[in-house]
Every structure is written in C-alpha cells, then in structure tokens.
C-alpha cells in the first residue's frame, strides 16, 4: 500500500471515464480500469402502472396516479483499482486523487445531484465518507474524524452500496452485484455490510461462505491492495435481466414451485414507532378469513423467506423492506402493495414490474401528517382491502 490520503484533495471521476479493460484484467488486477458489460450503452426499461389503484379513505398520496414511465440506467461494469481506499458506504478513493462509487450517473444533472449530496455534512447524504468540500472547484478533502486505517492484502471484492443496513437495499442493490461475478474464477475476500444473520445466509446461498466475508464498518478507512468493484446494476430497483436471472436461480435452488398459498406479510410487532399500521390486527383477521396465512419475515431464515414468497399465488403487505422479498416470487404472482407514504412508490413500482408481478396499489391513511415525523403511523381500511382481495381471488378461479 502506498501513499496516505491525509491532506490530499480528491475530485469526482465518473467511473465510465476509467480506461476500458477486459474481464481477465479486472480479475488479475494487473491493469487499472473497468470492464463494461455489452453493449456498453445506457439501458432502457419501462415501469408499468398498477392493475388497480384504491384510495378508499381519501389519503391522496398519488393525486396524479402512478403511470407507466421509462427507466434509464447506465451500463453495468466492474472496476479494478490498485491501491484503493474505501470510505463510507461505498466510495473509492484512488492514488491519482479521484473518487467514485458503484453508480455511473446517466447525465450531468445526476452528477450534480450526487455531488450536492456529498457536499453536505449530514452523514446520510454524505454517505458517511468524511469527504468535505473545499473551495469552489469541486475538490474534496478527507476528514478522518478519528477513524483508523485497516490494510487488506490481495484482492477484495467490494460488495458495497448506499443504505447498507436496509434489507430492501441489500436485495436490490447489493446481492445482485454477484450476477457479474458468477462466471469469474475469483475466490477473493468479499467486503460487505452483513451484520444481520439474514444477509449472511443469503450470501451463503448465493455461493459466498462466511469464511470469505469482511464485514464492512464505515468507522474504518480501508486500504485495499486491489479492489474489484461491481457496479450498482439496479439504481432505482428495476431489476435488470441479469438480476432477474440471479434471483430465479436462487428461487429454483431454494424455493418452491408456485402454489396456491395466499400470504399476508405482517409488520405487526416489528416496531412500536415509525411506520406502524395501527389496525394491523384487524387487517390480519379480515385476510385470514379469506384464507391468507400471516407471514412474519423477521422470524424466518433466508431460505424460509424464499420458500414463502416463491410458493405464493397471492401476496399482500404494507410497503417496507420485507416486501422486497417479492424478488423471490414467480412471475405472474398477484401482489397488493399497501402504501402509506408517497416517497418510495417509484422504487416499489420498478421492483414489482421487473419481477413480472400482477401488482396493485392500495393506500393507507396517515394519522398524524406532521412533517417532523420521518415515518408516520397509519390506518388501513380493512373492509375495503378485503373486498379488493376477494375480487382478485374471484378472478383467479
């Protein structure tokens, strides 16, 4: 490991500006650059509208509806960086005085939004990097704030991205990165945030045993001899073809054939604060009367969650991390997404569309709309939800 990052200025480098190299060069680490997946251009997809949109209590979360819309992604890539420094959630610093991460913004406006976030002092938009803007030329300096260095010898696969502690983020951002490495003969250590047992179980099912894991800690500045950095394949949760195939493989190996199960994905008891459905017990009772099983993912292993979602014909649940288990559903599965806030509908709609689900949108109504609350308690019209579920069940007969 060579020069220190202390006192050095760093400027943003779009990862697609790195030299183009082939896959063997990425793996052996001889060259510094990226391997871009064919055809090497921006990718286009289409998010679909829900098959229905119910708002029985006038919550008005989506006054303009949730229409079909295009989704544009950059090409997927794998970067190879010698003498790399990893800071924060996912940021790579290079010896040449540049920084980048696993994303490749599709236009200058996206670059500007990213850099505006990085210039903030708050840890979340800054991604806990400690990079601080200096002057007006777009340069950043690393503020160490007492973080120690840790040197990792050899090759390290950097399986890191933003929002690392969020299970939904793990499913659409982090785990699909392995799709780019499935054919690579690379038995290297894997740097990943996997403090929860479910994360480690999923990695093991995907072929990464715990013995290869380096548990990522943003309180440490990592010095990596050779970093292999798979890109963020699905920036807005619309799974690309490789990600869909990756999850189909997990479903085939560890899941079930699609059956006739009806499951309700419960959040009851998960949290006493934040996004709590106040009448969830009533909702569960109404749906149990229609033959729905109550599934509490927080009590299941990763393999049990795969089996539950893959065996379902019909899934209902409030939006949240557990509903990202829809990646394990068979295409054609019916799903009702209960939304209580407007902020994440694009990601949810992208996910359900890309998984080939027959999905509909049902609005719950927030009890206290105070802007001071990040996540708000809400109520669901249980009778209207049961009526909608019954109508869909009748269509399945």
In this predicted model, what pLDDT tens digit does every residue of 83-113 receive, in sequence order? 999 999 999 999 999 999 999 999 999 999 9
Band of pLDDT at residue 77, cut at 50, 70 and 90: very high
Rounded to the nearest angstrom, the gap between the alpha carbon of residue 32 and the centroid of all alpha carbons in its chain is 27
Separation CA 378–CA 109 (nearest Å): 35
pLDDT-derived band at 151 (thresholds 50, 70, 90) equals: very high
Beta bridge partners, 99, equal 12, 93
Taking the CB of residue 135, how many other CB atoms lie within 10 A of it?
Answer: 9
CB contact at 8 A, 374 and 274: yes
Q: Give, in words, the CATH class of 256-396.
A: alpha beta
Question: Region 161-180: what's the mean pLDDT?
Answer: 97
Phi/psi region, residue 274 (left: phi>0; alpha: psi -120 to 50; beta: rest), is left
pTM: 0.94
- Cβ burial 70-105 (10 Å sphere, 16+ → b, else e): ebebbbbbbbbbbbbbbbbbbbbbbbeebbbbbbbb
Confidence class for position 2, pLDDT limits 50, 70, 90: very low
Strands 69-73 and 358-363: unpaired
What token pair was written down for 187? 């038995």
Integer CA distances (angstroms), 29 to 81, 150, 179, 332, in order: 7, 20, 20, 42
Question: d(Cα 366, Cα 364) in Å, to the nearest integer?
Answer: 7
Q: Say what the pLDDT of residue 168 is.
A: 97
Q: At what angle do helices 197-205 and 302-310 cross, to 10 degrees?
A: 70
- pLDDT at residue number 255: 97
- Measured at the CA of 254, the angle between CA 253 and CA 256, to 5 degrees, comes to 100
**Among 11, 227, 36, which Cα is nearest to 111's?**
11
pLDDT beyond 90 at 186: no
Proportion of the chain above pLDDT 70, given as a percent: 97
Per DSSP, the three-state class of 16 is helix
Strand partners, 191: 158, 214
How far, in Å, CA of 221 to CA of 243, rounded? 30
Is residue 3 predicted with pLDDT exceeding 80?
no
Give me the chain's average pLDDT, please. Answer: 95
Q: Is the pLDDT of residue 372 over 80?
A: no
Residue 78: which H helix or E strand, with range? strand 77-87
Mean pLDDT of 326-333: 98
> Mean per-residue pLDDT for 123-127?
96
For residue 369, name the pLDDT band (cuts at 50, 70, 90). Answer: confident
Are 176 and 45 in contact by the 8 Å Cβ rule? The answer is: no
Cis status, amide bond into 391, omega within 30 of 0: no
pLDDT at 7: 72
What pLDDT digit, counting tens, does each position of 203-247 carry? 999 999 999 999 999 999 999 999 999 999 999 999 999 999 999
pLDDT over 60 (residue 1): no
4-57 per-position pLDDT tens digit: 566 789 999 999 999 999 999 999 888 899 999 999 999 999 999 999 999 999
Check whether 62 has a pLDDT greater than 80.
yes
| Helices then strands, each counted (H, E), the chain | 9, 21
Q: Are 278 and 230 in contact (CB under 8 A)?
A: no
Mean pLDDT over 110-121 rounds to 96
Q: How far apart are CA 191 and CA 272, in angstroms?
A: 33
Percent of the chain with pLDDT over 90: 88
- Please report, for the chain, the start and end positions of each structural domain, with discontinuous segments joined by +: 9-40+75-235, 256-396
């Amino acid at each position: 490991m060579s020069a220190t990052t202390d006192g050095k200025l760093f400027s943003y480098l779009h990862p697609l500006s790195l030299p183009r190299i082939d896959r063997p060069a990425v793996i052996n680490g001889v060259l510094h650059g990226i391997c871009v997946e064919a055809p090497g251009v921006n990718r286009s997809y289409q998010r679909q509208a829900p098959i229905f949109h119910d708002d029985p209590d006038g919550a008005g979360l989506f006054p303009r509806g949730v229409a079909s819309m295009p989704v544009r992604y950059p090409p997927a890539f794998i970067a190879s960086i010698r003498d790399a420094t990893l800071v924060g959630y996912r940021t790579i610093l290079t010896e040449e005085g540049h920084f980048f991460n696993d994303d490749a913004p599709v236009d200058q406006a996206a670059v500007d939004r990213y850099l505006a976030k990085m210039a903030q002092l708050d840890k979340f938009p800054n991604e806990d990097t400690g990079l601080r803007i200096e002057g007006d030329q777009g340069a950043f300096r690393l503020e160490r704030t007492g973080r120690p260095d840790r040197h990792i010898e050899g090759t390290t696969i950097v399986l890191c991205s933003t929002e690392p502690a969020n299970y939904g983020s793990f499913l659409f951002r982090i785990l699909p990165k392995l799709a780019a490495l499935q054919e690579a003969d690379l038995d290297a250590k894997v740097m990943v945030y996997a403090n929860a047992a479910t994360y480690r179980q999923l990695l093991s099912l995907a072929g990464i045993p715990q013995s290869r894991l380096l548990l990522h800690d943003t309180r440490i500045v990592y010095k990596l001899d050779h970093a292999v950095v798979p890109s963020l394949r699905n920036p807005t949760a619309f799974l690309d073809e490789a990600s869909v195939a990756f999850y189909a493989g997990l479903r085939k190996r560890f899941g079930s054939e699609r059956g006739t199960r009806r499951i309700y994905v419960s959040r009851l008891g998960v949290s006493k604060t934040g996004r709590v459905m106040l009448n969830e017990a009533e909702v569960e009772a109404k749906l149990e009367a229609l033959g729905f099983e109550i599934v509490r993912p927080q009590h299941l292993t990763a393999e049990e969650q795969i089996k539950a979602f893959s065996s379902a014909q019909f899934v209902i649940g409030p939006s949240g991390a557990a509903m990202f288990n829809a990646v394990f559903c068979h295409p054609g599965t019916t799903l009702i997404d209960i939304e209580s806030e407007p902020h994440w509908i694009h990601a949810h709609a992208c996910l359900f569309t890309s998984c080939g689900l027959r999905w509909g949108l049902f609005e719950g109504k927030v009890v206290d709309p105070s802007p001071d609350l990040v996540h708000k308690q809400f109520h669901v019209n249980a009778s209207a939800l049961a009526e909608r579920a019954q109508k869909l069940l009748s269509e399945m007969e």
